[in-house]
């Protein structure tokens, strides 16, 4: 057996373990994102309800300010009416007072409606806030479980990285550089077994000029001519 073959297979096995842990971690992150999205939707409800409540409160307050001005103008007309001696001007003032009274009555009823609406809108904000609080409580257990699982996997990742590093340091520098380059370039495995003189990564036949060395050493370090995978014989691994 070629002396580099067991070392390479060891590094590849540890890379495989790291990749598996990465997949597990990604799955957890994806699942946790579902909780985040649910919470985000309810939080968006609060934001929308708050904007609406603020809008109603502003309109209520504007109407109240307008009413104050109109009431004070009406009061001034009444005062003028009491002291007006000219019958024609008094009749005109009387008509103005009557008109203003009906406008005021309408505005007062508008204000009351706005005040009711504003109160109702404020209670919708409180309801949305209660829904967020309830959902946060409902998710707390699941989030704690995710955090625990993630911490556990992260510890496994850290350990697996250290093991990988130690396995990789057993390779000579050139081979390690080559392996790492292939690892970055290939989605599939770097060391693949030959089967009936065929590379099992790309199913290209290994040239007869190389078969002899593969059979003698159990390893073709220069790799597959077609896909670059490093080829080995499973028989060589005991």
- Binding flag, residue 224, Zn ion (CB under 5 A): yes
- Using the contact rule CB under 5 A, the part of the chain among 76-84, 97-105, 112-120, 199-207 near Zn ion is 199-207
Rounded Cα gap, residues 70 and 88, in angstroms: 24
Tell me the per-residue interface mask from 155 to 194 with Zn ion, x by CB under 5 A, - otherwise: ----------------------------------------
Q: Is the dihedral of CA 183, 184, 186, 188 positive or negative?
A: positive
Residues 6+ apart with CB under 8 A from 90: 81, 84
199, 206, 220, 230: residue in contact with Zn ion (rule CB under 5 A)? 199
- Binding flag, residue 227, Zn ion (CB under 5 A): yes
CB closer to Zn ion, 13 vs 193: 193
- Using the contact rule CB under 5 A, the part of the chain among 14-22, 66-74, 167-175, 218-226 near Zn ion is 218-226
- Binding flag, residue 202, Zn ion (CB under 5 A): yes
- Which residues make up the interface to Zn ion (CB under 5 A)? 199, 201-202, 224, 226-227, 229
């Amino acid at each position: 057996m070629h002396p580099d073959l067991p070392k390479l297979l060891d590094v590849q096995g540890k890379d495989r373990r790291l990749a598996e842990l990465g997949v597990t971690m990604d799955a957890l992150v994806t699942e946790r994102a579902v909780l985040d999205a649910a919470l985000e939707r309810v939080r968006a409800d609060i934001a929308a309800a708050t904007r609406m409540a603020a809008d109603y409160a502003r309109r209520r307050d504007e109407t109240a300010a307008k009413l104050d001005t109109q009431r004070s103008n009406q009061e001034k007309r009444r005062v003028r009416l009491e002291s007006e001696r000219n019958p024609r001007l008094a009749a005109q003032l009387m008509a103005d007072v009557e008109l203003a009274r009906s406008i005021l009555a309408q505005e007062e009823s508008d204000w009351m409606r706005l005040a009711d609406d504003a109160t109702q809108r404020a209670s919708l904000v409180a309801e949305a806030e209660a829904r967020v609080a309830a959902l946060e409580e409902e998710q707390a257990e699941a989030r704690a479980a995710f955090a625990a699982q993630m911490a556990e996997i992260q510890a496994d990742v850290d350990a697996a990285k250290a093991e990988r590093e130690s396995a990789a340091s057993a390779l000579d520098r050139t081979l390690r550089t080559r392996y790492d380059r292939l690892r970055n370039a290939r989605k599939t495995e770097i060391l693949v077994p030959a089967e009936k003189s065929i590379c099992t990564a790309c199913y290209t036949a290994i040239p007869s000029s190389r078969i002899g060395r593969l059979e003698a050493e159990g390893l073709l370090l220069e790799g597959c001519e077609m896909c670059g995978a490093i080829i080995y014989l499973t028989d060589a691994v005991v």
